[in-house]
Structure 1
Amino acid sequence: MAETHAPMEMESDYATEFQVNQRVISLGEVAVYPAECQPLVFRRTAKLIRKADPEAYHLSLIQRGEGHVTLGKETRTHRAYDLHTSDTSRVWEIQTGREPLRFIGVEIPKAVLPLPAREADRVIGGRLSAREGTGALLAQFLTRMVADSRSYRPSEAPRLRTVLADLVAAVFAGALDAERSLPYETHRRTLALSIRTFIRENADDSRLDVPSIAAAHHISVSYLHRLFQQEGDGTTVGRALLRQRLEHARRDLLDPLLREMPVHVIAARRGFSHAAAFSRAFRDAYAMTPTAYRQTTPTTTGGGE
């Protein structure tokens, strides 16, 4: 753990039988590491800083347990869905609670973060929330990255690193009400990711359309279209919305518990106002009708061995 972040002193009442589960997702200069460990104390001392300083910011999304963080003369307690921050160039101490601590850690060099150091330094040690706003978006991104990491290709690392750095910078800037300090590209990419997350979470609402997506983010329809064009993957806003609805419907069609639910009902619950339009869109996407697709899953029958 010390090698992942920076040299640290660590002690634990469980030292003789200490258990930690950690893996590292490397994104070049940036590292993400989900970890779970028994109660312990971390210390970053002035002596260790003089010995080695990678000049990086650390951020932890706490998923379970708590940590009591002392930075300078102030101690703050961070709990589940809080975002803890620290700096390898500062002295600090973290004492975890009595229960095992589970978190997703992020190590990001200061030079990589698209936010002036004078701004980022003001955030370190403060309590940031992962329950709402950009903090929630960052938490969702980290959680999905950890869950899907084994499916990523090495060529995707630069893109993921950029998105993660943008999100961390946006969280820091939001805490300072300093969004104007963010580069335009960082703001644009963060907004685009927020919109895609919004679409994914609200696609089942049949009232959701391009104008309502733009209105929810306080931007014009033309700027919304331009954001997606600048993403460069050829996906339009309307296509992104349709793709989410089709994917949700596809999963429903394969769900044994929904086997008796009519196709038109599945279409309606996934945001399609017209069954015929759903059937056409589904056939275009998956090269077969919804009914035929459903039949590709064998019917599960009961019975003993």
Structure 2
Amino acid sequence: MGYTVLSTTSVPAEQRFDWWCDLIGRSVAPVRIRSGHTSDFLADTGALDLGAVRLTTMSFPPIHSLRTPALIRNSDPEGYELALILDSEMSISQSRQDSRLSTGDFALWNTSLPYEGKGLGGTAGPLLRGIVLHLPRSGFPLPGGRMDRLLARALPGRSGAGAVLAAFLRSVVDQAPSLEGPALDRMGTVALELTAAFLAHHLDAHDRLPPEARNRMLLARINAFIEDNLAEPALSPASVAAHHGISVRTLHYLFRQQRETVSATIRSRRLARCHAALSDPALRALPVHAIGARWGIADAATFSRSFRGAYGITPAEHRRSTLPAPPATRPARAGSGRPARSVKEGCAPGQ
């Protein structure tokens, strides 16, 4: 089943809160929810089945949720839930651990244990937003006893392995409407492996991960490093390998299942940045060769040749075909004795 989003706006205002609570209980896990916004509860929930894992997106006003022993006895999916806080402040308590979370943090909880959560409000508006990854406890590559050490802790998702996992989850949500069939299963496998590697990092338990998971996390970190350093002329397979403490041979081995080699990946991503920059009216005054240099391709001839090889036209031809012609000069008035002046270029509304 593809990505489905359900909103409380589809039901009458007085029914929205009860409808949403029932939806969360059936799609996630039964919880007792209180809110000061029950008279007109504006919220939505999206669901995506990725095979190995399930993903839920949520947007809702401040709430207080409680999962009690009675609710656990009534229904327990026997899993872990890993939440990425996209835009909110919240607190969570489980297993005598209390944490306050902010935008960019992850939080893990166990559906078989009581917990309490409080959504404290969004940082950019009245609604809280997040992504929840539902993980099976059975067969998870890390032992449950060690996983429980992470329950209700604020796990940073703004750098390192956390940033890699957060970026992946956001991209899955962004592309969810176009994902189907085998692609969903592949995304689920990647999500499970990246999550295991992220949690293993916080448990110092990398040795417990299968080699596939360790390699996938390392490859994701390498791709993120390349993306962040495209403007550096010295970026190369050797510099990438040195930064990550591996040999160039190992780096090429990791890339064997990707569509491009390491060098080709660096080149194609640089050219894509140049392609976009040449179409940007704000950069019209920047010479073509300077656009290439801005993204690490210092030699003008190499830039032109590589760009033509990738897109079939030169950088200058691409710029002329995508940017409107510069404004014409205004002729001097007869007898004024003054030369013509160029019309000052301004931004159109919305640019």
TM-score normalized by the length of structure 1: 0.93
Q: Which is worse superposed, 3-12 or 207-216?
A: 3-12
CA contact (8 A) 1:137 1:194 kept: yes
2:134 pairs with 1:111: no
Tell me the distance in 1 between the aligned counterparts of 2:216 and 2:117.
Answer: 33
What does 1:73-88 correspond to in 2, within 5 Å? 73-88=96-111
What does 1:163-178 correspond to in 2, within 5 Å? 163-178=190-205
* Alpha-carbon offset, residue 112 of structure 1: 5.5
2:37 pairs with 1:37: no
CA contact (8 A) 1:56 1:87 kept: yes
CA contact (8 A) 2:91 2:119 kept: yes
Task: Report the secondary structure of 1:39's partner residue.
Answer: coil
What does 1:186-197 correspond to in 2, within 5 Å? 186-197=213-224
Structure 2 segments unaligned to the other structure (5+ residues): 1-23, 328-345
**1:143 corresponds to:** 170
Q: Which is worse superposed, 23-32 or 218-227?
A: 23-32
* Alpha-carbon offset, residue 195 of structure 1: 0.6
**1:270 corresponds to:** 295
Task: Report the secondary structure of 2:221's partner residue.
Answer: helix
Tell me the distance in 1 between the aligned counterparts of 2:67 and 2:293.
Answer: 56
CA contact (8 A) 1:112 1:165 kept: no
Return the letter of the residue paired with 2:297. F
Rg larger in 1 or in 2?
2
**CA-to-partner distance for each residue in 1:18-49, whole Å, 9 max, x for gaps?**
11122223212422222221111111111111
**CA-to-partner distance for each residue in 1:265-300, whole Å, 9 max, x for gaps?**
000001102111111111111111111222221417
Distance 1:73 1:257, change over 3 A: same
**1:27 corresponds to:** 50
What does 1:52-71 correspond to in 2, within 5 Å? 52-71=75-94
Q: How high is the sequence identity, in percent, across the aligned residues?
A: 35
Task: Report the secondary structure of 2:290's partner residue.
Answer: helix
Give the number of aligned pairs.
Answer: 303
Tell me the distance in 1 between the aligned counterparts of 2:260 and 2:243.
Answer: 20
**CA-to-partner distance for each residue in 1:101-146, whole Å, 9 max, x for gaps?**
2212111222363323333233222221112210111111122222
Tell me the distance in 2 between the aligned counterparts of 1:304 and 1:279.
Answer: 30
Task: Report the secondary structure of 1:199's partner residue.
Answer: helix
Tell me the distance in 2 between the aligned counterparts of 1:41 and 1:199.
Answer: 42
Of 258, 277, 281, which aligns to 1:233?
A: 258
2:303 pairs with 1:285: no
Distance 1:114 1:74, change over 3 A: closer
Tell me the distance in 1 between the aligned counterparts of 2:275 and 2:323.
Answer: 15
Return the letter of the residue paired with 1:268. A
Task: Report the secondary structure of 2:26's partner residue.
Answer: coil
Return the letter of the residue paired with 1:79. S
Of 264, 272, 280, which aligns to 1:255?
A: 280
2:321 pairs with 1:299: no
Structure 1 segments unaligned to the other structure (5+ residues): none
Q: Which is worse superposed, 260-269 or 294-303?
A: 294-303
Of 73, 76, 95, which aligns to 1:50?
A: 73
Distance 1:92 1:293, change over 3 A: same
2:152 pairs with 1:125: yes
Q: What is the root-mean-square deviation in Å for CA atoms of aligned residues?
A: 2.0
TM-score normalized by the length of structure 2: 0.81
Distance 1:125 1:288, change over 3 A: same
Return the letter of the residue paired with 2:45. Q
